[in-house]
Amino acid sequence: MNNFTFHNPVRVYFGDDKLQELPDLVKEFGSKVLLVYGKSSIKRMGLYDKVVDLLQSNNIDIVELSGIDPNPRIESVREGGELCKKHDIDLVLAVGGGSVIDAAKGIASAALYDGDPWDFYSYKVQSEGALPIGTILTLSATGSEMNRGSVVTNLKTKQKHGWGSPYTYPKFSILDPRNTFTVNQHQTGCGIVDSLTHVYEFYFSKNDNYLNNRICEAIMKTVIHYGPQAIDNPENYEARANLMFGSTLALNGLTGFSNTWDGFNHTTEHVLSAYYDIAHADGLAILGPHWMNYILDESNVQKFKEFAINVWEVEDRGTDMEIAKRGIQAVFDFYQSIHMPTQLSNVNIDDKEFDEIASYATRYGESVGRFKELSKDDVLQILINAK
Amino acid sequence: MNNFTFHNPVRVYFGDDKLQELPDLVKEFGSKVLLVYGKSSIKRMGLYDKVVDLLQSNNIDIVELSGIDPNPRIESVREGGELCKKHDIDLVLAVGGGSVIDAAKGIASAALYDGDPWDFYSYKVQSEGALPIGTILTLSATGSEMNRGSVVTNLKTKQKHGWGSPYTYPKFSILDPRNTFTVNQHQTGCGIVDSLTHVYEFYFSKNDNYLNNRICEAIMKTVIHYGPQAIDNPENYEARANLMFGSTLALNGLTGFSNTWDGFNHTTEHVLSAYYDIAHADGLAILGPHWMNYILDESNVQKFKEFAINVWEVEDRGTDMEIAKRGIQAVFDFYQSIHMPTQLSNVNIDDKEFDEIASYATRYGESVGRFKELSKDDVLQILINAK
């Protein structure tokens, strides 16, 4: 087992009765809230009214910042930070999915910083504090509700950067599976792929650890088991609940305490979606199984066999290589079964920019990926295979 | 999935280089430490000297409280509390296994309380604070290093009670697997049984949850995989490391976020070891598989089949009942293979007190256990079966 530190102070309130805790939770920190949310979905589903009623009837003042984009912009972070300063905000409350929560983390940090918050995301300065953050989750996907990470996009510099600090863990996160009942089929599929990718980017690890692997498998099996049920019946509480806490555990430290992050999928996908306006998880669904097919060889066939049998319940029959390949085929089949793309042509991407994308994906060194280090030519070949 | 709250703020520092962090960790809270430990084992293994050197060379003052018993006594808690008050202690540092850590939790709470700390354990008053607690773990078993629970014995009232408060989570826990290299065969076996029992008391749950079950299985598989390796080769780092973090995760909230605790094994064992001076885990090893055999019936055979196949890798062949029984037999075989007792006669207990033990185990109501509610007569029969 590798050495590590593990710390996750987020208080999770999970279940269909937990929104009621909101006023008391907020009051631990004060009485002035910046309510951060996206477009109209929380209004359509009635959550906005419930939250506002609960806060107002408990004498909690609300300042609003709406319109957070799916890829949250640094401009929103700046604007939110200014609002916090101007209105003397006590707590930043994110109501939404990962993008809204990510933005809230930047905003809460910007509130206590005199400079431009992009300084954090460009790693110029480390934050020295943040306002308390609370979240009400409406999308099972990124895990941001129980970690400190925040990904924000700067369109001017064409950068999408991840950052976090010890102060950006939410103080509390309210997870009511019913708040995901209205998530549509494609968004549900995206959440499933995002969660699975978070886990297998840790599962495929050099010097992998037994306990870490088994926990990864536990979460992947859950997502695979309940994903299709949530797609078929969006109001299946048990399916939504398992997906919700599964996606939370997928990126709260538990899947990577000893195993190391591979990074190929997320790094390359960030480039892909910077060139083409595709959903992050569409890119992940396309890259994932093609990446597996490409890197599978005699040196790692045991790991892929383990993946096939333990996660995908592939029958233990035939050669190791055959079993491993059937496992990867199961990933293709699963993604297709939940209506996710597995080829670039499915999202109308052709090979024009492949060379540039492969170059950019490997810009930080000679290679990308840790489980198997991939050169620019390797990335190019994966893109060609995924055409 | 049941509704729940999940919160675990403990910072875990895991690995063979983490003791070095101790001075900085202590200094976050002050410069006066109450060093709490048991008998001579931490001196024999050289850990005492290392800890004292590290603290002293960093100008941290040490007051000592040694001699904590394997079942920590309320007298030690009282004495520790007085020492904290007298010496104006900033942090209580437990160096040892679960007993020492449990005592430290009581001591840290007693330090800020004017009355008798047994008031906490007898549920007369709730604590309103505690000094910060740090731990250096030397035994993989109870999970106390990453939870708030504390079990303390009052010999005068013949009570062994568990208690905890929001203030008794350790601020930090240092887990170096090398500090368990000198744990002897029997103590290692006890830790394995204790961890497994912690998990299966949540695994066997009415309204069990899929994700919760899979995580329980992940931890049990790890303990079963590495337990015998640690028994055979006490200095096998990987085995000790997996057992260590496995036992930590077994009782840090992760195994019971949705599933509910059965309680038969721990409740009955506490009575058993109150009547006879046997190790807690010896009692658990005897009761566990006999309890399983007794409660197995058509209504829960699927759960036992799942346990057999997913945890014990029993072949999926024959009737469900046959598979379930082979799973329980695997528990017997495993415990015997790691030299743990599976019959009361192995620890020289006869049937003289069976009636009284069965009465006492069911004293809080008509029954004990939640997965299957067991009457006094049921408990008696389990004891007879385990003779």
What is the C-alpha to C-alpha distance for residues A77 and B353, in angstroms, rounded to an integer?
69
Identity of the residue in B8, B215, B242 whose CB atom sits nearest the CB atom of A1: B242
Q: How far is CA B276 from the centre of its chain?
A: 19
pLDDT band with cut points at 50, 70 and 90 for residue A27 = very high
Lowest mean pLDDT among A79-88, A334-343, A359-368: A359-368
pLDDT computed for residue B366 by the predictor: 82
CB B161 within 8 A of CB B310: no
In the numeric block, the tokens 């005199």 are attached to A114
pLDDT tens per residue, range B155-203: 888 788 899 999 999 999 999 999 999 999 999 999 999 999 999 999 9
Chain A hits for B226, CB-CB cut-off 8 Å, are 210
pLDDT computed for residue B365 by the predictor: 77
Yes or no, beta carbons of A215 and B210 under 8 Å apart: no
pLDDT band with cut points at 50, 70 and 90 for residue A209 = very high
pLDDT computed for residue B299 by the predictor: 97
Q: Got the DSSP string for B249-275?
A: HTTSSTTSSSSPP--HHHHHHHHHHHH
pLDDT band with cut points at 50, 70 and 90 for residue A101 = very high
Task: Give yes or no for B2 touching A (CB within 8 A).
Answer: yes
What's the mean pLDDT in A304-333?
98
Chain A hits for B145, CB-CB cut-off 8 Å, are none
Task: Give yes or no for B1 touching A (CB within 8 A).
Answer: yes
In the numeric block, the tokens 């409350």 are attached to A93
CB B25 within 8 A of CB B172: yes
Query: Over chain B (387 residues), what is each successive 10-residue block's mean pLDDT?
Result: 97 97 98 96 96 98 96 96 98 97 98 97 95 98 97 87 95 98 97 98 97 98 98 98 98 97 94 87 98 98 98 97 98 98 96 94 89 97 98
Q: Which domains does chain B have, with CATH numbers?
A: 11-180 (3.40.50.1970), 185-385 (1.20.1090.10)
The answer, yes or no, to whether residue A280 has pLDDT greater than 80, is yes
pLDDT computed for residue A19 by the predictor: 98
Yes or no, beta carbons of B14 and A8 under 8 Å apart: no
Helices assigned H by DSSP within B45-117: 47-56, 74-87, 98-110
Task: Give yes or no for A178 touching B (CB within 8 A).
Answer: no
Q: Which amino acid is at A134?
A: G
Identity of the residue in B5, B11, B245 whose CB atom sits nearest the CB atom of A211: B245
Q: How many CB pairs under 8 A join A and B?
A: 112
Task: Give yes or no for B225 touching A (CB within 8 A).
Answer: yes
What's the mean pLDDT in A269-288?
91
Nearest one of B300, B256, B248 to B142, comparing CA atoms:
B248
Task: Give yes or no for A226 touching B (CB within 8 A).
Answer: yes
Identity of the residue in B18, B210, B245 whose CB atom sits nearest the CB atom of A242: B210
Task: Give yes or no for B53 touching A (CB within 8 A).
Answer: no
pLDDT tens per residue, range A168-202: 999 999 999 999 999 999 999 999 999 999 999 99
Report the run of H or E that residue A150 belongs to, with start and end. strand A149-154
pLDDT band with cut points at 50, 70 and 90 for residue A386 = very high
Nearest one of A142, A85, A87 to A109, comparing CA atoms:
A85
Yes or no, beta carbons of A15 and B7 under 8 Å apart: no
pLDDT computed for residue A111 by the predictor: 98
Report the run of H or E that residue B33 belongs to, with start and end. strand B32-37
- ipTM for the complex? 0.96
Task: Give yes or no for A242 touching B (CB within 8 A).
Answer: yes
Yes or no, beta carbons of B257 and A14 under 8 Å apart: yes
CB A151 within 8 A of CB A161: yes
pLDDT computed for residue B270 by the predictor: 87
pLDDT computed for residue A247 by the predictor: 98
Yes or no, beta carbons of B242 and A215 under 8 Å apart: no
Mean pLDDT of chain A: 96
Chain A residue with minimum CA distance to B225: A210
What is the C-alpha to C-alpha distance for residues B193 and B287, in angstroms, rounded to an integer?
11
**What dihedral angle (degrees, nearest 10) is formed by the CA atoms of A361, A365, A367, A372?**
-120
